[in-house]
């Protein structure tokens, strides 16, 4: 895991959970968060191919995940 980010009801809870999700890894972290309304998770992990990444997420609305252009 390169990065684990939680969006939750409080900053303290999100901070503690993001550390736990980092340790759990993507499969178990996604399972944990899918069962808890009010939590959203985004994890960035190394891809199987060199130099790539995989992004895993749950709990976000589709419009929350759109990339913005410009800058």
- Indicate the pTM of the whole model: 0.82
CA 62 to chain centre: 14
**pLDDT tens digit string along 32-71?**
999 999 999 999 999 988 889 999 999 998 877 777 665 4
Give the pLDDT confidence score for residue 68 in this predicted structure.
64
Give the pLDDT confidence score for residue 11 in this predicted structure.
94
Residue 19 CB contacts under 8 Å (≥ 6 apart), including other chains: 4
């Amino acid at each position: 895991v390169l990065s684990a980010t939680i969006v939750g009801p409080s900053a303290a809870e999100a901070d503690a959970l993001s550390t736990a999700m980092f340790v759990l890894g993507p499969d178990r972290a996604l399972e944990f968060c899918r069962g808890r309304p009010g939590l959203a998770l985004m994890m960035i992990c190394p891809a199987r191919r060199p130099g790539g990444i995989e992004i895993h997420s749950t709990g976000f609305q589709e419009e929350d995940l759109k990339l913005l252009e410009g800058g």
